[in-house]
Amino acid sequence: MPKFQSGEWVLITGGSSGIGEEFAYQLACKGLNLIIVGRNQERLNNIYKNIKHISKDIKLEIISFDLSSDIDLFLDTIKHYEIDHLINNAGFGWYGEFIEGDLNVYNRMISVNIITLTSLAHHFSKKLALKKKGGIINVASVAGFFPIPHFTVYAATKAYVYNFSMALWAEMKKYNVHVMCLAPGKTKTRFFERANMKNQNQLMMNVNKVVNNAIKAYEKNNPLCIPGVTNKLSYSIIRRIATDKFISKILIKHF
């Protein structure tokens, strides 16, 4: 099973807030060395200070980089590090009617949520296959299981992440490399603020519980982690009894 071992290197994208930031804190407590990538230098600096208070012994690098700009340049920047685990977390969403949205925002969302994630997974899965150890956590969303009006492009990108991750999990098993899809529901992060959504505090999971569940599931070799009982039931029951057409009609009233 792909245990996080003290002294291993973990690359975390989207690490300057939310789920990525929480992964950094919890893995630092386990003694793992971290490369944290995000776009907000000020927040990265604060995270660096916080982690050094948690553990002064781990090796820690922070990199401010827009992964949608030049993935090859980024990979060249970190080429000297032996990455053991990838937390493929960078991504964002936008809420509203599809025709009201900016096409440039949609294209960038596809670039970050799909192309960047795929590029990093491709690069590191090849390296991990040679070592025959380690793994990848791709962060999707429960939104990827359903056709959600007003989250049209975001939900579609996360559907890709889910299907891609499950297929890659099956392919990488023979190399002793574990791939897991993390599909959280509503989580207390800055995501909804950035996605232009207000009053979304109901039924949100605490981010530390989401990440704690994810780490446990990953170390148990689970291919899919859906944190929270409500989210698990929604996935299990609704997908079995409802058509996509019915789901869309219901969800448009709630999103």
188 vs 65: which has the higher pLDDT: 65
Spatial CB neighbours of 92, under 8 Å, sequence gap ≥ 6:
109, 112, 113, 191, 194, 195
CATH code that applies to domain 9-251:
3.40.50.720
Q: Is 232 exposed, middle or buried (0-12, 13-18, 19+ CB in 10 A)?
A: middle
* Identified catalytic residue from 154, 162, 218, 235: 154
Torsional class of 155: left (φ above 0), alpha (ψ -120 to 50), beta (otherwise): alpha
Q: Does residue 218 have an active-site annotation?
A: no
Task: Quote the CA–CA distance of 93 and 191 in Å, as a whole number.
Answer: 7
Query: Over 60: is that where the pLDDT of 246 sits?
Result: no
Sheet of 33-38: strand order equals 60-64, 33-38, 9-12, 85-88, 135-139, 178-182, 224-225
The domain segmentation of the chain, as residue ranges, is 9-251
Q: Are 247 and 159 in contact (CB under 8 A)?
A: no
Q: Is the pLDDT of residue 43 over 80?
A: yes
pLDDT at 245 over 70: no
Give pLDDT, residue 247.
47
- What's the rounded mean pLDDT across residues 223-241? 72
pTM assigned to the model: 0.88
Reported as a pLDDT band with limits 50, 70 and 90, residue 195 is very low
pLDDT tens-digit series, residues 169-178: 999 999 999 9
What is the pLDDT confidence band of residue 238, given thresholds at 50, 70 and 90? low
